[in-house]
Amino acid sequence: MALIEEGKKAPAFSLNDQDGKKHTLSAYAGRALVLYFYPKDDTPGCTKEACAFRDSLPQFKAGKAAVLGVSILDETSKAKFAKKFDVNFPLLADEHHEVAEKYGVWQKKSLYGRQFMGIARTTYLIGPDGKVAKRWDNVKVDGHAEEVLEALQQL
């Protein structure tokens, strides 16, 4: 499935977070939602990205936006990751990469000449109307949370 274009309706989802609490897209209707997809819990880039969103959370909340991280691996893995780095927002377990596929971020990747399927680091800013306001592909972690905050302020 292709990446969701800006201006298109964001696909519905229902996933559990690190505490076993279910999150759905419809539960965030009427407010902005930062939905960021990251490859794997507790890896250097993913940790740096989660910590940047963690540190910026007060500004996101001030902008009336929720932040959700999505990746493969189960709730237990998410709980360990969240506890280790004091992640103060939901990390959703997309174990069977169904949501990653809906959003077009389950892609063929290559590392040291080996090809495999995995999550491409991608962030969606979903507006209060449920439509994709902005999308970042192949996210560079440094300064990314700030870029998303800037886009949120322009909503």
- Catalytic residues, by residue number, are 46
**At which residue do the structure tokens 């250097």 appear?**
44
- Residues 11 and 43 sit within 8 Å (Cβ to Cβ): no
Least Cα distance to 15 among 85, 118, 90, 79 occurs for: 90
* Measured distance CA(21)–CA(46) in Å, rounded: 22
DSSP 9: B
Structure tokens at 96: 């069977």
Helices 144-153, 44-62: axis angle to 10 degrees equals 30
- Kindly give the pairing relationship between strand 65-71 and strand 32-37: parallel
Query: What residues pair up with 71 in beta bridges, in sequence order?
Result: 93
- Residue in this structure with the two tokens 């930062």, named with its chain if needed: 34
